[in-house]
């Protein structure tokens, strides 16, 4: 049975396979995919290592932007300094941490600063450990905010856009 690219990518993204076999994608598809990913920070060696050998961690599949949003949504009460009133609108004063969280997609360190202010660093490090990132890496990467575009957006979003652009051809 021939599978579409979407089917193959979904097996990778939902954890049914850790990585592709080199024969899973045609040489033409590999070239198109690498060319598509290069502007987002993939090198040829990273491409082959991650897609055909090591695979991806969950934080890479979902992307840092989604990881931040999910964690913030799950810890809204702790992030708000005015914990008694969670119905305050975004335009009203919510406290230091909450204001920083409004700009959490900006790579300026405000997300990690908000976590520190709310005493959530340890909780966040445990959350990231579940997604495949170690404590020291969390500290280094989130304080420096030196993400590649593919890490920010997440593989799931990028591969969806790739399929939308290049079609559902079968392999």
Average pLDDT on 70-82 reads 79
pLDDT of residue 118: 84
Average pLDDT on 148-154 reads 95
Looking at per-residue pLDDT, the higher value among 90 and 73 belongs to 73
Looking at per-residue pLDDT, the higher value among 110 and 86 belongs to 110
**Does the pLDDT of residue 168 top 50, yes or no?**
yes
Looking at per-residue pLDDT, the higher value among 107 and 105 belongs to 107
Average pLDDT on 33-51 reads 95
Answer yes or no: pTM beyond 0.75: yes
Angle between helices 27-37 and 155-166 (to 10 degrees): 120
Give residues with Cβ within 8 angstroms of 21, minimum separation 6.
52
**DSSP states of 61-90 as a string?**
HH-HHHHHHHHHHHTHHHH-S-TT-TT--T
The C-alpha atoms of residue 36 and residue 58 are separated, in whole angstroms, by 21
The C-alpha atoms of residue 47 and residue 26 are separated, in whole angstroms, by 15
Report how far apart, in Å, the C-alpha atoms of 128 and of each of 27, 49, 52, 81, 105 are. Answer: 34, 22, 24, 23, 17
**Does the pLDDT of residue 115 top 80, yes or no?**
yes
The C-alpha atoms of residue 156 and residue 150 are separated, in whole angstroms, by 10
Mean pLDDT of the chain: 82
The C-alpha atoms of residue 43 and residue 48 are separated, in whole angstroms, by 9
**DSSP states of 146-157 as a string?**
---HHHHH-HHH
């Amino acid at each position: 049975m021939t599978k579409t690219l979407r089917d193959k990518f979904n097996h990778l993204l939902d954890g049914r396979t850790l990585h592709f076999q080199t024969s899973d994608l045609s040489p033409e598809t590999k070239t198109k995919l690498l060319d598509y990913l290069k502007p987002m920070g993939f090198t040829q060696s990273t491409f082959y290592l991650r897609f055909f050998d090591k695979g991806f961690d969950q934080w890479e599949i979902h992307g840092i932007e989604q990881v931040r949003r999910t964690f913030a949504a799950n810890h809204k009460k702790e992030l708000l300094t005015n914990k008694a009133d969670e119905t305050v609108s975004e335009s009203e004063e919510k406290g230091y941490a909450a204001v920083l969280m409004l700009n959490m997609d900006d790579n300026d360190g405000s997300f990690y600063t908000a976590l520190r202010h709310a005493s959530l660093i340890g909780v966040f490090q445990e959350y990231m450990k579940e997604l495949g990132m170690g404590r020291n890496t969390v500290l280094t990467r989130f304080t420096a905010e030196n993400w590649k575009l593919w890490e920010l957006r997440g593989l799931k979003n990028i591969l969806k856009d790739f399929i939308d652009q290049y079609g559902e051809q079968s392999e």
